[in-house]
Amino acid sequence: MAKFRCTVCNYIFDEEKEGTKFSELAQNWTCPVCGAPKSAFEEIGEEESKVKKIETTVADKIIDQLAAAGVKFVFGIPGDSNLPLVEAIRLQNKIKFILTRHESTAAFMAGAYGKLTGKVAACLSIAGPGSTNLITGLVDATADGAPALALVGQVTQVMLGSEHLQEIDEIEIFAPFTLYHETIAKPKQALRATVMALKNAYSHRGAAMLSLPTDVLSEKLNDKIWIPEEHIFETGIVPEYEYINSASAMIDKSRKPLLFIGWGARLAAKEALLLAEKINAPIATTSRAKGVISETHPLAVGVLGSLGTLCAAEAVKKSDLIIIAGSSFREKNLLADIPVIQIDINGVHLGKSFPVKVGMEGDAKLSLRELGKKVSRKAPDKDYFELLQKLKGEHLADIKKDAADITMPVSPGYVIQAVKRHARKDALITVDTGDHTYWFYKKYLCDGEQTLFSSNMGSMAFAFPASMAGQLIYPERQVICITGDGGFAMLMADFTTAVYNRLPVKIIIFNDGMLKNIKKEQEMYGYEAFGVEFINPDFAEFARSCGGDGFRVERPDELDTAIEKAFASDKPAIVDVVIDKTKMAMPVVRA
């Protein structure tokens, strides 16, 4: 009597146990486990039937290749169409699997990991609805230039085109949102395609995806993995000296230059400060780069943009030259007609939104270093800096006013300053999208803290998954999530993921029972407020029911104690603050 193995799910048909010969089964017979046709079965010998796995599979090799390339985490949800890959993860010890409650959480975590480290983490889904749930997080990663990899299960190849359960055209759906997208249709494709996905994620700074039919994942593959050092390379580009010379000449002629730092220059704080101090230039940052330069530095003027400060907007308006490093900055109205020098690793970003006098394609760190060597030392413009000192003084007075505002209901500004009082200097603060975003970026002074934001997509629900990714990367650091009730509630079920994985993130919820930023926009455009109010659960009680800590705050005099207890906890914790829904932070729109 013989035995036959399903090449899709590894189910064994034993003729002796079944009392029927495999050859006598009807041609339309299907696997009782996965529904694969009779043709998907192969006869196995006695030795193989006793040993579950005597050779490595495509799934094994994909995971081995990712581990060799330094991938440390896979976030996601197992299911029928990715089980061979899940089994391959289980059988090794280099990559850790984090089960999430929703695929959106997994994709946001992978993107946040890429933003923080510059390295790839993977998100995992089944075919159909699991795969489409990844899209928002992958779009966010690609839009913000973060490497990430989606491992997307697919129905068996023999079922493609049959309108099988959960069958969708994954390549067509993911193509607009990923920089590389490929189906592994044959075992010999596996290693090359996996390496190509990693190369594209790194080189083009965005999300890549692999569509993985489950029957192919189960096929045998004994090829040697590719040595990453021979195939995956990081590049650092210095602009041509013609452009460095042109830029330095413009800087030398200017009287009031301003340095504007974006996310692409996040690793160039030292070089930016050396240049700014040499030419006595104020330093503004984008919202994404908030914290790259200490906002208590004498030359710092804060965030420029609708989320930013009036001081930064005026500093730009009164300058006579703007040096932009690592940003393609969309808000042209804040730059007026001032000459611009722009540095960006991506040449497409140069002059994308505004005219540029000198465009320098290259790495921000290397470019700023070369500029710093070339430019002449410059004395500060007295009138310019007197104006900036006046505006900074007014801004600090406004912050002190927020810190002393103990009116009822709790003021959003008071919450921001309370967080500041208890945050560590090296805290990682992830920020969601909403009215609280404006309060944070305008009123929180970073002097060591690192921030993380969904910048180009402005996606609600990003901050909480990002905080979990941050805590995995930096287990000893304080990780704080600033979020609204609307954004947090979208993926709040994954609070149990934080509890299960012992990730002691601290979540500050601005609870106003509405989408207050949308209400603000409706009022700005002359519409009536509509469709923006909802009912909330008790988020503090929810946290406790999940095994974390929760604190509800309804009065200003309760806030410091609640934050202190939450931040001292070794568990994930929520501070649910019922805030004044009438107080809103308005955007900066000055031309």
Residues 366-422: tens digit of each pLDDT = 999 999 999 999 999 999 999 999 999 999 999 999 999 999 999 999 999 999 999
How, if at all, do strands 300-303 and 549-553 pair? Answer: unpaired
CATH number of the domain enclosing 323: 3.40.50.1220
Residue 309 in domain: yes
Same domain, 153 and 277: no
Tell me what pLDDT residue 564 has.
98
- pLDDT, residue 590, reads 53
* 66 shares a domain with 44: no
Report CA 226 to chain centroid distance, whole Å.
28
- Residue 50: pLDDT band by 50, 70, 90 thresholds? very low
3-state SS, residue 96? strand
**What local confidence, expressed as pLDDT, does residue 42 receive?**
87
Task: Identify the CA nearest to 436 among candidates 581, 559, 262.
Answer: 581
The verdict on residue 367 lying in a domain is yes
| pLDDT on residue 335 | 72
Measured distance CA(233)–CA(202) in Å, rounded:
8
Exposed/middle/buried for residue 388 (C-beta within 10 Å: 0-12, 13-18, 19+): buried
Question: In this structure, what DSSP letter does residue 529 have?
Answer: P
b vs e for 510-540, b when ≥16 Cβ sit within 10 Å of the residue's Cβ?
Answer: bbbebbbbbbbebeeeeeeeeebeeebeebb
Lowest mean pLDDT among 154-158, 281-285, 362-366, 514-518: 154-158
User: H helices of 185-341, where?
Assistant: 190-203, 214-217, 241-253, 269-279, 310-318
Mark whether 81 and 188 lie in a shared domain.
yes
Question: In the numeric block, which tokens belong to residue 187?
Answer: 């075992």
Express each pLDDT in 168-214 by its tens digit: 778 999 999 999 999 999 999 999 999 999 999 999 999 999 999 99
For 457, the token pair is: 């997509």
pLDDT tens digits along 457-475: 989 999 999 999 999 999 9
Q: Work out the burial of residue 234: count CB atoms within 10 Å of its CB; fewer than 13 is exposed, 13-18 middle, 19 or more buried.
A: exposed
Domain total of the chain: 4
Q: Which amino acid is residue 309, in one-letter code?
A: T
Mean pLDDT (whole number) for 103-108: 98
For residues 252 and 283, membership in a common domain is answered with yes
Cα–Cα distance between 145 and 263 in angstroms, integer?
A: 9
Q: Is residue 395 part of a domain?
A: no
Q: Are residues 17 and 129 in the same domain?
A: no
d(CA 303, CA 299): 13
Residue 236 lies in a domain: no
HEC-encoded secondary structure of 325-388: ECCCCCCHHHCCCCCEEEEECCHHHCCCCCCCCEEEECCHHHHHHHHHHHCCCCCCCHHHHHHH
Is the confidence at residue 217, as pLDDT, over 80?
yes
Residues 375, 433 share a domain:
no
CATH of the domain at 103: 3.40.50.970
Q: Give how far Cα 153 sits from Cα of 6, 182, 243, 428, 580, Å.
A: 18, 12, 47, 33, 46
588 part of a folded domain: no
Residue 162: pLDDT band (50, 70, 90) is low
48: phi > 0 → left, psi -120 to 50 → alpha, else beta; which? Answer: alpha
Domain termination site, one of 172, 200, 230: 230
Residue 49: predicted pLDDT: 45
Per-residue pLDDT, averaged over 319-332, amounts to 87
CATH number of the domain that residue 42 is part of:
2.20.28.10
Q: Residue 92 gets which letter from DSSP?
A: -
Nearest partner of 149 among 122, 127, 109, 117, judged by Cα: 122
Give me the amino acid identity at 210: L
Verify that 213 and 262 share a domain, yes or no: no
Judgement on whether residues 254 and 172 belong to the same structural domain of the protein? no
Q: Is residue 553 part of a domain?
A: yes
Q: What CA–CA distance (Å, rounded) separates 469 from 100?
A: 12
The set of residues, in sequence order, having a beta carbon less than 8 Å from that of 428 and lying 6+ positions away, is: 116, 449, 450, 451, 452, 467, 470, 474, 477, 478, 479, 480
Q: In what order do the strands lie in the sheet with 506-511?
A: 450-453, 428-431, 479-484, 506-511, 573-578, 549-553
Count the neighbouring beta carbons within 10 Å of the beta carbon of residue 35.
17
Answer yes or no: are the C-beta atoms of 509 and 573 closer than 8 Å.
Answer: no
Among the candidates 356, 385, 414, a domain finishes at 385
Please check whether residue 521 is in contact with residue 531, taking contact to mean a CB–CB distance below 8 angstroms. Answer: no
User: Which segment, 28-37, 45-54, 279-288, 346-355, is predicted with the most confidence on average?
Assistant: 279-288
Q: Are residues 281 and 368 in the same domain?
A: yes
Tell me if 461 sits within 8 A of 432, measured CB to CB: yes
Burial environment of residue 203 by CB neighbours within 10 A (0 to 12, 13 to 18, 19 or more): middle
Q: In whole numbers, what is the pLDDT of the chain averaged over residues?
A: 92
Indicate whether 53 pLDDT > 50. no
Cα–Cα distance measured from residue 187 to residue 212, given in angstroms and rounded to the nearest whole number: 11
Same domain as 287, residue 418: no
Residue range(s) defining the domain that contains residue 174: 58-230
Average pLDDT in the 76-94 region?
95
User: 521 vs 33, which has greater pLDDT?
Assistant: 521
Residues 6+ apart with CB under 8 A from 46: 3
Taking residues 264-284, report their average pLDDT.
Answer: 96
Does residue 158 surpass a pLDDT of 80? no
132-156 pLDDT, tens digit per residue, is 999 999 999 999 999 999 999 998 7
Cα Dmax for the chain: 96
Q: Would 41 be classed as within a structural domain?
A: yes
Q: Are residues 477 and 563 in the same domain?
A: yes
Residue 333: predicted pLDDT? 65
In this prediction, residues 255-263 reach a mean pLDDT of: 96
Phi/psi region, residue 144 (left: phi>0; alpha: psi -120 to 50; beta: rest), is alpha
Same domain, 212 and 81: yes
pLDDT-derived band of residue 306, with 50, 70 and 90 as boundaries?
confident
| Cα gap 485→552, rounded to integer Å | 13
Instruction: List, for residues 14-36, the tens digit of each pLDDT value.
Output: 999 999 999 999 988 998 887 78
Using a pLDDT cut of 90, give the percent of the chain over it: 79
Q: Does residue 362 lie in a domain region? A: yes
pLDDT score for 238: 80
Tell me what percent of the residues of the chain surpass a pLDDT of 70.
95
Tell me which of 230, 254, 270 is where a domain ends.
230
DSSP 410: B
